[in-house]
Amino acid sequence: SRNGRPFRMAVIGSGPAGFYTAYRVMSKIRGAKVDMYEALPVPFGLVRFGVAPDHPEVKNCQEKFEEVAASPDFTFIGNVSVGNLSDHPDGSTIPLSSLLRHYNAVVFSYGSSKDRMLNIPGENLKGIYSAREFVGWYNGLPEHSSLNPDLTQGDEAVIIGQGNVALDVARMLLEDVDVLRKTDIAEHALQTLSESKVRRVHVVGRRGPMQAAFTNKEIRELMRLSDVGFHPIDKSLIPEDIKSLPRASKRLMDIILEKQITPADVSKFSKSWSLDFCLSPKQFLPLPSDPQRIGVTELERTQLQPSPFTPKAYPVPTGQMVQIQSSVVFRSIGYKSVPLPEFSQIGVPFDESRGIIRNDGQGRVLQESRDAGGAMQLAALPGMYCAGWVKRGPTGVIASTMLDAFATADAIAQDWTSSEQPVQFLNEDGKEAAGWEAVKSETGATNKGKVVSWEDWQRIDSAEKERGKAAGKEREKFTKTTDMLAVLD
Ligand code: FAD
């Protein structure tokens, strides 16, 4: 402690970044008190609403988070959104400025709540969805629980983008519904997927296999799906001498070359898919019979410079157009973080082009200012830190998010305990920062919805598991915030 007062920190967002930062700070600063604000009534961010339902082992990190939450120094404040960011009808919204008055430090770990657009003609046609909303829908995210995607218009689906999220979407479309039935996938999604007519999935990307963004684990899973064929890939994109490639690339080339089917074999499988490399989407064309609905995706072939085998090769347009029949399209070109509404007023710098809070790489939020001579300087904003996707951009698995959160926590601990060059925090001059108690009484008047405590979440959790039992599933999620909150009445 400094001057005998404990360190009090607010964390905004309860995904892996928030929990791992809290964990590490609590273990590095004795007596640190952490209040975690979460917009939804339920915790864990994309671990609950992003990670695919057939990846239950990935969700094991929740056990660590539960340990963190069990500490008497930790308080979960669910169904409370900071700023006015999310569409949040059943919960409360509190201003960031209130947090700044009652904590020594604030950690922004609120993730990426929007997605990137292609900005090409026809993008708003019916039948084109963003991967983010589709993923949210099958995982029971309240915001997208009524998406109800139409998978009955025809058999060809196009996924634009070749990252792991794109492969998750492909797997959901291709996987046997009976396998998904045992997972915690939302019931409405099971229903829709069981009626799906999609038989042929194209996963399209601008670059080639040597520049692929997906991981070998995800590709291998798709290759293992039973009764699903994989179409041959363009061999000219694969180096002749595979053996001399770095290990991970070599593996990937082996995986994608091993399983290819011949065109004559396609009919032996109920479903099939392909990795369509070196294609850049140009426009979406409607069905002749319905000018509002997607019919065809038009793409331009690219050429990789300086060569298809250069890991950092970039795609150059060739002018050659390709059309793919599309009864449904998923845009999977990345998530996007947005600034909290009060950032501009408070002076928290947001890098719009990269979609991150400007920081020093360790998680200290940086502010631009001019020194006496008028030169631009970057200085840390006292008591403000960031972690996770809003710090680094929307890439990386939970393990990389953990390392990133640890770096932020280490910066916080280092700043708080440094004695040589004292680092300034928030609210150090007056009395002890009072945290949630003070924020609650200050903002009480604006609070509409019930605040969900950790014990409340545990009741929701039990109720979901109970519902799941009946259906032979791990859990049956509530997909509406009102239903989550009704458990607590
Ligand atoms: P998030 O997990 O998004 O957490 C942010 C939290 O902040 C959310 O709970 C949100 O509700 C809350 N929030 C937002 N705004 C506010 C506000 N204003 N006030 C209060 N709270 C707010 N990684 C793996 O290791 N394995 C996988 O299989 C895997 N699959 C993935 C599948 C998909 C579709 C996606 C998108 C990601 C996947 N990842 C996977 C990556 C992993 O989910 C991320 O690395 C990680 O969740 C990022 O953590 P975060 O805490 O930065 O953000």
Mean pLDDT for 395-423 is 93
What ipTM was assigned to the predicted interfaces of this complex?
0.99
Same domain, yes or no, for 203 and 311?
A: yes
348 inside domain: yes
In a domain, 1, yes or no: no
Using the predicted structure, report yes or no on whether residue 85 has a pLDDT greater than 70.
no
Predicted local confidence at residue 219, as pLDDT:
95
Element (H, E) at 28: helix 16-28
- Per-residue DSSP letter, 265: G
For residues 327 and 374, membership in a common domain is answered with: no
142: domain range? Answer: 115-335
Write the residue with the smallest CA distance to atom 6 of ligand 1: 13
Which tens digits make up the pLDDT trace of 16-52?
Answer: 999 999 999 999 999 999 999 999 999 999 999 999 9
pLDDT in tens, 317-366: 999 999 999 999 999 999 999 999 999 999 999 999 999 999 999 999 99
Check residue 369 and give its pLDDT: 80
Q: Which of 110, 332, 403, 436 to mutate to test the pocket of ligand 1 (most atoms within 8 A of CB)?
A: 110
Which of 335, 351, 373 is the last residue before a domain boundary? 335
Pair 150, 239 in one domain: yes
Among 24, 46, 64, 92, residue to substitute to test ligand 1 (most atoms within 8 Å of Cβ) = 46
Asked if residue 244 belongs to a domain, the reply is yes
Determine whether the shortest distance from the Cβ of 111 to ligand 1 is under 6 A.
Answer: yes
**In this prediction, what percent of the chain has a pLDDT beyond 90?**
85
Tokens of 358: 């400007």
Residue ending a domain, among 312, 335, 358, is 335
C-beta of 168 in contact with ligand 1 (< 6 A):
yes
CA–centroid distance, residue 208 to ligand 1 (Å): 27
Distance 47 CA to ligand 1 centre (A): 6
Span 395-413, average pLDDT: 97
Tell me the percentage of the chain whose pLDDT exceeds 70: 98
Q: Is the CB of 46 under 6 A from ligand 1?
A: yes
Global pTM reads: 0.96
Confidence bin at 263 (pLDDT 50/70/90): confident
Averaged confidence pLDDT in the chain: 94
Q: Evaluate the CA torsion angle 260, 263, 264, 265 in order and state its sign.
A: positive
Number of Cα atoms under 13 Å in the Cβ half of residue 169: 34
Say yes or no: 158 and 255 in one domain.
yes
Strands 114-115 and 8-12, how do they pair?
A: unpaired
3-state secondary structure of 244: helix
26-35, 231-240, 258-267, 285-294 — which is least confidently predicted?
258-267
> Could you read off the pLDDT of 296-330 as tens digits, one per residue?
999 999 999 999 999 899 999 999 999 999 999 99
Residue 361 in domain: yes
Q: Which atom of ligand 1 is nearest to the CA of 131?
A: 34
Residue 420 has pLDDT above 80, yes or no: no
Query: For ligand 1, is residue 204 a contact (CB within 6 Å)?
Result: no
Q: Is the CB of 106 under 6 A from ligand 1?
A: no
Strands 290-305 and 314-325, by their bridges, are: antiparallel
**Does one domain contain both 373 and 228?**
no
Partner residues linked to 366 by β-bridges: 380
Average pLDDT over residues 437-455: 84
Q: What average pLDDT score do residues 249-262 get?
A: 89
Of 145, 148, 159, 171, nearest in space to 54 by CA = 171
Residue 91 falls inside a structural domain: yes
Please indicate, yes or no, if residue 387 is contained in any of the structural domains: yes
Q: What is the mean pLDDT of residues 457-468?
A: 97
Question: For residue 113, which atom of ligand 1 is closest to its CA?
Answer: 14
- Residue 456 structure tokens: 């409340």
Q: What is the pLDDT of residue 429?
A: 79
User: Do 157 and 232 belong to one domain?
Assistant: yes
Instruction: Decide whether any atom of ligand 1 lies within 6 Å of the 14 Cβ.
Output: yes
Residues 99 and 161 in one domain: no
Q: Which of 47, 48, 49, 51 to mutate to test the pocket of ligand 1 (most atoms within 8 A of CB)?
A: 51
Q: Is the CB of 45 under 6 A from ligand 1?
A: yes
- pLDDT tens for 98-139 read 999 999 999 999 999 999 999 999 999 999 999 999 999 999
Residue 404: CB partners within 8 Å, gap ≥ 6?
Answer: 17, 363, 387, 388, 391, 392, 396
Task: Give me ligand 1 centre to Cα 15, in Å.
Answer: 5
Residue 39 in contact with ligand 1 by CB distance below 6 A: yes
What's the rounded Cα separation, in Å, for the pair 273 and 232?
10
Ligand 1 close to Cβ of residue 55 (< 6 A):
yes
- Name the more confident of 376 and 306: 306
Q: Is residue 78 part of a domain?
A: yes
CATH code of the domain in which 447 resides: 3.40.50.720
Is residue 152 within 8 A of residue 196, CB to CB? The reply is: yes
pLDDT for position 447: 60
Residue written as tokens 């005998």? 4
Span 203-241, pLDDT tens digits: 999 999 999 899 999 999 999 999 999 999 999 999 999
Same domain as 411, residue 394: yes
Count how many domains the chain has.
2
Of 280, 301, 335, the residue that ends a domain is 335
Distance 46 CA to ligand 1 centre (A): 3
Are residue 400 and residue 476 in the same domain, yes or no?
yes
Q: Which stretches within 139-246 are classed as H helix?
A: 164-174, 177-180, 187-194, 216-223
* Whether 409 and 477 share a structural domain: yes
In this structure, the answer to whether residues 22 and 59 fall within a common structural domain is yes
Residue of 126, 138, 224 lying closest to 175 (CA atoms): 224
Q: Is 243 in the same domain as 366? A: no
Q: Where are the alpha helices (DSSP H) in 259-377?
A: 343-346
Residue 403 lies in a domain: yes
The CATH number that applies at residue 247 is 3.50.50.60
Q: Decide whether any atom of ligand 1 lies within 6 Å of the 38 Cβ.
A: yes
pLDDT at residue 374 is higher than 90: no
